[in-house]
């Protein structure tokens, strides 16, 4: 516990929803809900306007739609959120080398370590300057808490929401915490909170009055000691610049339960590939492959397999995940699948079997190439007449003539097409609500909705006035998916339509 409030906690306000409002001028001041849009989707973030209707994070999207039917429901754009987060984290690292990110929109900063602030006045000035810099660079707001410990700094930023700053002066901690709910303290969830409520403890002040011995008796020694220290405002944890990831995983919840075993295997393979992409992106490899299966009755099964050494080989991860799936009964249907890798390392130890198999395949390929070369030499010695005859026989045309589709063009074209040689229809393009698009005439915009062969687009961009809405065919050749535009900076030169 420090004598000066030089630990800063930044929490961006309704981050995902705020990014969407900043990039879509027509949504500013309106209820915005970001999350999964399917029947089993879950809310990731809701704007403060949506929260007034009772919508909150982790709520099923279907329930949110009932509470706020006129809200804007958008898919997450994680690439954009990550880009904005990197800008914000860069501002924090200008303040101190000790920055501890907790998520894309939240971090602790040790101001003393950066020589930025050593007392209350310097800490407050730094916090206000940070909020102004974030607003100038991203157009977003963040809440700042300043205190002598990490726990109190986080409590302060929560109390400062939205778009505020709260500094807890050393010596005032207990007075500030006393009237707050016990749920304010880290580690006090619904179960512990209810347990304490039944014992007549609902505020932090009552928690402190209960005493250490009583809390140990109620919730166990480890948890009881921790609760008592937090109730007194005591927290000696340092700000840690690098938090090592313990695992990397991806999962998907399906709108309709999967019953087909082949489809389930395909989804597991796809998840394994995505997991490896994320694993490589973090610069890690892993030794233990984990498969997660949630069945139709909400029962969740987890299976794992530990390899001989760390790997980031997608083939190895796919094979391990497939083996794990064989041991899982999917009768009745599957609503969620996930693939993860744990036991992370900064190096890889290639799978020996995969290496030997690759060597065998390479040797076999060389042998085949050598045989083909020898056969070609023998064919050349046989004379030009034999070559012409072989060519005519293979191509189906006189003197080895090749049809319009290339060698064997007619036959291949018939196979590629539908019945009677008709080409198969291209799959209908899908446009998710909230996704970025670019029109050859009207410029950048975002999908407001789609269905019945039509897609509705609002043409606007960050910094522009609310734009017009236009509707197109889903297969309009002038409409293409696009990358997000920066929230602050040079806009597209074409005016919004």
Angle, vertex CA 360, rays to CA 356 and CA 366, nearest 5 = 145
Which residues, at least 6 apart from 437, have a Cβ–Cβ distance to it below 8 Å? 431, 444, 445, 446, 447, 457, 479, 480, 481, 482
Using the CB atoms, write b or e for 220-240: b if 16+ within 10 Å: eeeebebbbbbbbbebeeebe
Using the CB atoms, write b or e for 108-144: b if 16+ within 10 Å: bbbbbbbebbeebebbbebbeebbebbeebbbbbbbb
Backbone angles phi, psi at 68, to 5 degrees: -135, 75
Query: Beta strands 142-147 and 106-110: pairing type?
Result: unpaired
Nearest one of 308, 289, 290, 310 to 300, comparing CA atoms: 290
> Residue 424 to residues 416, 418, 497: CA-CA distances in angstroms?
8, 5, 35
Backbone angles phi, psi at 316, to 5 degrees: -65, -45
Kindly name the residue from 20, 49, 100, 106 that is annotated as catalytic.
106
Q: What is the DSSP letter of 418?
A: S
Nearest one of 363, 390, 362, 361 to 375, comparing CA atoms: 390
106 catalytic residue (yes or no): yes
Tokens of residue 463, six digits: 């910094």
- Backbone φ/ψ region at 380: left (φ over 0), alpha (ψ -120 to 50), beta: alpha
Nearest one of 122, 94, 119 to 107, comparing CA atoms: 94
Half-sphere exposure of 6 (CA within 13 A, CB side): 19
Residues tagged active-site: 106
């Amino acid at each position: 516990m420090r004598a000066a409030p030089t630990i800063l906690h930044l929490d961006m306000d309704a981050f995902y929803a705020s990014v969407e409002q900043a990039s879509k001028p027509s949504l500013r001041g309106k209820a915005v809900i970001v999350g999964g849009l399917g029947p089993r989707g879950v809310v990731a973030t809701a704007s403060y306007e949506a929260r007034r209707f009772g919508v909150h994070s982790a709520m099923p999207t279907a329930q949110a739609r009932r509470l706020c039917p006129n809200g804007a429901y958008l898919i997450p754009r994680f690439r954009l959120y990550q880009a904005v987060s990197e800008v914000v984290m860069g501002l924090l690292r200008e303040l101190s080398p000790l920055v501890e990110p907790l998520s894309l929109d939240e971090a602790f900063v040790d101001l003393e370590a950066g020589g930025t602030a050593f007392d209350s006045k310097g800490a407050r000035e730094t916090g206000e300057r940070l909020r102004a810099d974030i607003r100038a660079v991203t157009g977003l707001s963040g809440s700042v808490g300043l205190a002598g410990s990490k726990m109190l700094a986080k409590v302060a930023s929560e109390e400062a929401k939205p778009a505020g700053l709260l500094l807890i002066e050393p010596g005032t901690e207990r007075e500030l915490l006393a009237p707050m709910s016990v749920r304010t303290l880290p580690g006090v969830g619904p179960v512990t909170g209810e347990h304490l409520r039944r014992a007549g403890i609902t505020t932090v002040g009552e928690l402190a009055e209960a005493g250490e011995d009583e809390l140990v008796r109620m919730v166990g020694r480890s948890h009881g000691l921790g609760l008592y220290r937090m109730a007194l405002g005591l927290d000696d944890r340092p700000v840690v610049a690098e938090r090592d990831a313990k695992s990397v995983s991806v999962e998907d919840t399906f709108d309709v339960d999967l019953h087909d075993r082949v489809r389930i295997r395909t989804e597991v393979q796809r998840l394994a590939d995505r997991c490896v992409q994320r694993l490589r992106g973090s610069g890690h490899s892993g030794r233990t492959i984990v498969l997660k299966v949630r069945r139709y009755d909400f029962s969740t099964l987890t299976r794992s397999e530990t390899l001989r050494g760390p790997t980031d080989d997608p083939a190895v991860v796919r094979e391990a995940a497939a083996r794990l799936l064989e041991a899982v009964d999917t009768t009745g249907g599957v609503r969620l699948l996930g693939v993860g890798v744990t036991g992370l390392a900064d190096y890889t130890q290639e799978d020996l079997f995969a290496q030997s198999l690759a060597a065998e395949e390479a040797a076999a390929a060389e042998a085949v190439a050598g045989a083909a070369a020898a056969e070609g030499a023998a064919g050349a010695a046989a004379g030009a007449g034999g070559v012409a005859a072989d060519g005519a026989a293979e191509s189906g045309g006189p003197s080895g003539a090749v049809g319009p589709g290339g060698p064997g063009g007619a036959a291949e074209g018939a196979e590629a097409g539908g019945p009677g040689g008709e080409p198969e229809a291209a799959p209908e393009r899908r446009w998710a609500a909230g996704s970025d698009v670019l029109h050859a005439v009207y410029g950048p915009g975002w999908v407001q909705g789609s269905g019945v062969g039509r897609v509705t687009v609002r043409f606007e961009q960050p910094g522009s006035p609310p734009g017009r809405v236009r509707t197109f065919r889903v297969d309009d050749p002038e409409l293409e998916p696009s990358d997000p535009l920066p929230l602050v900076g040079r806009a597209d030169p074409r005016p919004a339509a």
